[in-house]
Amino acid sequence: MPLECSVMTTSKEYLQKLWREADAVCFDVDSTVIKDEGLDDLANYCGVGPQVEAMTLKAMGGGMTFREALTQRLNIVKPTRQTVENFIVDHPSTFSPNIKELIALLNSLNKQVYLVTGGFRSIITPVANDLNIPQEHLFANTLHFNEDGSYAGFDTSSLTSESGGKARVVQHIKDTYKVKTVVFVGDGATDMEACPPADGFIGYGGNVVRAAVKKNAAWFVTDFQELIDQLTKTTNEIHTS
């Protein structure tokens, strides 16, 4: 399978070298950059957490595309514009330890940083702003509202609104920004599936450990400090480690 060939056969040493030399890094957001799970938290905020959780488990059982699952979960939540605005104020995102330092370091090294998520732009925008990531480097889903502010669906033209969307985003980044080497960092199976076209995948388990990701990722970390340390290694340290 392409997933196994691209993720499982890559050595940790090769991936660490790729990480140091990468032109761009794509981060998943929920349970990676932040500790939160946006849609689940929004559902709890709206009082329908258990119903959405049940639908999520049903979707994970198979036979349902990502878009179908997203559609059904949002039809349960039916978030209004005002509810989303209140949620953002009442429930600010909690950053994962050392992520701000890591992204600041990547920026200082002139590496392009992107956020790629199945979550929602309105909720993730404050996260991107706090990390000094431009909006054009944020790939997320967009909620639609009617004139009265009631829920009206989501933008189905977004690459991240369907299965395999993260891989399509990586290819789009390579094609649009002429980026040669991309590393994807994330906690979930959909993040792992972005490699290829991403050149490398680093599994993250600082908030939740996904068994399949821990098993299949050649490099699995639970603290972003490990990624910082690799970027700050001297040439001598690399050759003697």
Query: For the segment 38-89, what is each residue's pLDDT rounded down to a tens digit?
Result: 899 999 999 999 999 888 777 666 667 889 889 999 999 999 999 999 999 9
- Taking 50 as the threshold, does the pLDDT of residue 235 lie above it? no
Q: Would you state the pLDDT for residue 62? A: 65
For this structure, is 28 an active site residue? yes
Q: Would you state the pLDDT for residue 192? A: 86
Q: Catalytic residue, from 23, 30, 41, 187: name it.
A: 30
Q: At what angle do helices 121-130 and 81-90 cross, to 10 degrees?
A: 30
Sign of the torsion formed by the C-alpha atoms of 35, 184, 143 and 176: positive
Q: pTM value?
A: 0.87
Q: Would you state the pLDDT for residue 4? A: 38
Domain boundaries, the chain: 2-36+94-240
Separation CA 59–CA 218 (nearest Å)? 27
Count of H-run helices and E-run strands, the chain: 13, 8
- Taking 90 as the threshold, does the pLDDT of residue 11 lie above it? no
Q: What are the tens digits of pLDDT across the range 133-177?
A: 999 999 999 999 999 999 999 999 999 898 888 999 999 999 998
Percent of the chain with pLDDT over 90: 61
Compute and round to an integer the Cα radius of gyration of the chain: 18
Q: Which two tokens stand for residue 87?
A: 């949620």
Separation CA 195–CA 192 (nearest Å)? 6
Q: Would you state the pLDDT for residue 238? A: 53
Q: Is the pLDDT higher at 48 or at 190?
A: 48
Architecture of domain 2-36+94-240: 3-Layer(aba) Sandwich (3.40)
Spatial contact of 92 and 126, defined as CB atoms under 8 Å apart: yes
> If you average pLDDT over every residue of the chain, what do you get?
88
CA triplet 77, 204, 112: central angle to 5 degrees?
90
DSSP for 161-202, please give it.
GSTTHHHHHHHHHHHHH----EEEEESSHHHHTTTTTSSEEE
Q: Catalytic residue, from 23, 28, 90, 155: name it.
A: 28
Q: Would you state the pLDDT for residue 169? A: 94
Please tell me the least confidently modeled range out of 7-11, 21-25, 48-52, 151-155.
7-11
State the distance between the two ends of the chain, measured CA to CA, in whole angstroms. 32
Environment class of 213 (CB within 10 Å of its CB; exposed 0-12, middle 13-18, buried 19+): buried
Q: 30: phi > 0 → left, psi -120 to 50 → alpha, else beta; which? A: beta
Q: Which two tokens stand for residue 160?
A: 């991240």
Q: Would you state the pLDDT for residue 217? A: 86
